[in-house]
Structures are given as structure tokens and as C-alpha cells.
């Protein structure tokens, strides 16, 4: 985990960027390699799509928490702070015994769609440059 990311999520102090993915963070993670950045984005998009779909089909808290943990961890890795925060909040609510909040699921769904649209657009531009 990136130093400070967990603390920032817990404290709610991370400034949310105007983009769904913090590209400066992702560039650092990819060591400045544009090709690796694209691979990371493709894998991340697939991961969040898969785990959100599984989250929607989950029938118990343990499964929900597993998929929320995966969404949060993957999102922190690429700098998708808003999606990570939504997953974090929902997981904390479930851990304290609260019922599933459909609005939280909707928030996560919207964040996933926003991130995936951003990734699709970014990859399309990268393909034009290649």
C-alpha cells in the first residue's frame, strides 16, 4: 500500500482529484512507463468490473467485504481515490453491523462507471498516439 493512503482514507483528508484516477500517482506506480501504465489501467478496469459484478450478486457479508476490499485495494494502487473511499465507507458500515445501504452500492456503481469511461477514453487516445 502507498504510504499515507490508508491514513488518508481513514481520516477522510485526501483531496479528491478532478479526474477519476490520479494520473500523477499512476505514473509513479508505472515508473513513468506509458506502456505499463496502459497495462495497469486495462487490468484495473477488468478487476473493478468483475468485483463490482460479484459484489452485486453477493449474498453474505463476508463476500461483500471481500469484493469491497479488492475494489478498495486496487483503486488505491492506481489512484482512484473516490472509488476507494466509497468501498472503504461501505466496508466500515458492514463491519459495524449496519445493513447494506443501496445508496452506497449506487455510489460505487457510479464510481466504477466513471473510472471505466475515463480508462476507455485514455486508452483510446493512447492507441491513436501509437
Break the chain into its structural domains and give their ranges. 32-129
Tens-digit pLDDT profile for the chain (130 aa)?
Answer: 343 454 445 544 455 557 999 999 999 999 999 999 999 999 999 999 999 999 999 999 999 999 999 999 999 999 999 999 999 999 999 999 999 999 999 999 999 999 999 999 999 987 666 5
DSSP string, 63-122: HHHHHHHHHHHHHHHHT-HHHHHHHHHHHHHHHTTPPP-HHHHHHHHHHHHHHHHHHHHH
Model pTM? 0.84
What class is the 32-129 domain?
A: mainly alpha
Amino acid at each position: 500500500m502507498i504510504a499515507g493512503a490508508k491514513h488518508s482514507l481513514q481520516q477522510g483528508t485526501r483531496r479528491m482529484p478532478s479526474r477519476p484516477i490520479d494520473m500523477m500517482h499512476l505514473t509513479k506506480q508505472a515508473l513513468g512507463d506509458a506502456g505499463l501504465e496502459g497495462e495497469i489501467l486495462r487490468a484495473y478496469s477488468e478487476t473493478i468490473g468483475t468485483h463490482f459484478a460479484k459484489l452485486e450478486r453477493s449474498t453474505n457479508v463476508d463476500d461483500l467485504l471481500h469484493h469491497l476490499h479488492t475494489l478498495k485495494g486496487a483503486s488505491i494502487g492506481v489512484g482512484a481515490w473516490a472509488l476507494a473511499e466509497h468501498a472503504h465507507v461501505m466496508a466500515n458500515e458492514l463491519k459495524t453491523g449496519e445493513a447494506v445501504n443501496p445508496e452506497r452500492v449506487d455510489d460505487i456503481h457510479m464510481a466504477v462507471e466513471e473510472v471505466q469511461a475515463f480508462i476507455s477514453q485514455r486508452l483510446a487516445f493512447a492507441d491513436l498516439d501509437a
